[in-house]
Amino acid sequence: MKKIRLLAAGAALAAAGSVLAQTAVVPAPQNVLQLMAAGAVEVQQDLLSMTLTTTRDAADAATVQAQLKTALDAALAEAKKSAQPGQLDVRTGNFSLSPRYTKDGKINGWQGSTELVLEGRDFPRITQAAGRVTTLTVGTVGFGLSREQRAKTEAEAQNIAIDNFKQKAGELAKGFGFSGYTLREVSVNANDAGPIRPRMMAMQAKSFSSDSAVPVEAGKTSVVVNVSGSVQLK
């Protein structure tokens, strides 16, 4: 029985040694070039996000919460009159409630805030809706790219990046004295401005008459696609 076990162990070691030997003789890749190229497209931001907010302060938490709820409910009712999917989407934002302390560490009141977010591609509709809300005021305004615009622009940038990668690979192959190349592996990564980046509105510009639009102006952003990988020179 011991001899059988010893023979089996010896056979296993021999097989492992054979595998290692085969692995060791595999030649390392030769004439492989690592490179990266990028494609960028500048595009007008077509998505607007406006955050309306208000704060309340009272001696007890229940009063603050009730006041915030009343203000938010009224704002929601007004904003939803102009809501349209994709053009003006309405959603609630942060709702916070916290105690206020004295120098001695005792609670002497409560304060809280609530938010309503108006977001979409129809800038006039959004700004006019914000102007008609009287219980909340404009806190932040931000711009970004809609899903459709981002996908379209990303495809354009990707095509540019791929063309740049191929051109760069061909030029490098020729520079190193080779006639061409074959693609070994490649990865594609997109990088744009990301989510909407809000900016604070001036305090004196927070209130607007019901028939006027909040003044906004979108800028441009760049969508960048990076293509990286390796090619076999031949």
Q: Where are the domains of the chain?
A: 31-46+145-203+222-234, 47-142
SS3 state of residue 41 = strand
The CATH architecture that domain 47-142 belongs to is: 2-Layer Sandwich (3.30)
pLDDT value for 15 = 54
Q: Tens digits of per-residue pLDDT, 86-121? A: 999 999 999 999 999 999 989 999 999 999 999 999
Cα–Cα–Cα angle for 37, 43, 44, nearest 5°?
160
Summarize the confidence of residues 16-20 as an average pLDDT: 53
| Alpha carbon 98 to its chain's center | 30
Output the pLDDT for position 19. 52
> Dihedral of CA 18/19/21/27: which sign?
positive
CB of 153 within 8 A of CB of 223? yes
Q: Please tell me the predicted confidence (pLDDT) of residue 2.
A: 46
pLDDT of 176-222, one tens digit each?
999 999 999 999 998 765 544 444 444 333 444 445 556 788 889 99
Q: How does pLDDT run across 25-52, given as a tens digit for each residue?
A: 667 778 999 999 999 999 999 999 999 9
**The token pair that represents 30 in the structure block:** 């030769």
Q: Which two tokens stand for residue 137?
A: 């005021």
Please report the beta strands in the chain, taking only residues with DSSP state E, as ranges in sequence order.
Answer: 32-44, 47-58, 89-101, 107-120, 137-144, 181-191, 197-200, 220-233
pLDDT digit string (tens) for 118-176? 999 999 999 999 999 999 999 999 999 999 999 999 999 999 999 999 999 999 999 99
Answer with the residue of higher pLDDT: 12 or 72: 72
Q: Percent of the chain beyond pLDDT 90?
A: 72
Half-sphere exposure of 208 (CA within 13 A, CB side): 23
In this predicted structure, what is the pLDDT of residue 192? 62
Tokens of 220: 């441009």
Domain 31-46+145-203+222-234 has CATH 3.30.110: yes
